[in-house]
Amino acid sequence: MTGLSRRRKIGWLVVLLACTGLYAALHFRVNAVKSEVRLAERQVVQLEEERLLLETEFLTRSSQQQLDDWNEIEFGYKAPRPGQYLENERQLAAYGVPRGVDAPQPVRVARSDVPETGSEFETMVSPLTGRPIDAAMFGPGRPTLRTVARAESGPARIPLSAVIDGSEQ
C-alpha cells in the first residue's frame, strides 16, 4: 500500500503541475490577447482622430469653394495684385481729391487752453449745474467721496446734495 499511495501522491503532483502549467500558458495567452486588444483600440482611436481631421479639412475646403463661388457670382471680389500695394504715404495721398463745394465741414477736436494748476486733476465740475464743486461741501458731517466709495460695495455713489449746492433734502 505504500507503493500505491506513493504513486497516487506522485500522480496528483503531476496532475497539479500540469494544471499549473496549463494555467500559466492560458494566463500568458490572455495577456497577449489583451495587449492586442489595447493595440487595436489605440489604432481605432488614431483612425477616428484622423477621420475627424480629414472630415474637418473636407468641410473647410468645401466652404472655401462655396465662398469662392459666391464671391465670383455675387460680389465679384478679386485678390489684390502686386501693383495694388502702396509703398508709402505719399502714394496714398496722391489718391486724395480736394473737398467738394457741398461737402460737410470736417470734425474738429476741442482743446482746453486752461493753464496748469499744479495739481494732477482739474477741479471737479457738477454735471447738473456746471459750477465747480467746492471742497467745503464735503465738510464735517457730510459724506466724502472716499467714505462713500469705501462704505458701499459696487459702484461709488455720490449724494446729489454734495454735488449740487450743499443743501440737504
Distance (Å, rounded) from C-alpha 23 to C-alpha 29? 10
Question: How much is the pTM?
Answer: 0.34
The pLDDT of residue 111 is above 90 = no
In a domain, 101, yes or no: no
The pLDDT of residue 153 is above 70 = no
In a domain, 157, yes or no: yes
In a domain, 142, yes or no: yes
In a domain, 31, yes or no: no
Number of domains composing the chain: 1
In a domain, 138, yes or no: yes
The better pLDDT of the pair 160, 140 is held by: 160
Question: 168: which 3 cell numbers?
Answer: 440737504
In a domain, 110, yes or no: no
Please give the average per-residue pLDDT across 76-84, as a whole number: 81
The pLDDT of residue 167 is above 70 = no
Q: What percent of the chain has pLDDT over 90?
A: 28
Find the domain containing 145 and state its range: 125-169
* Whole-number pLDDT of residue 160: 65
In a domain, 165, yes or no: yes
In a domain, 152, yes or no: yes
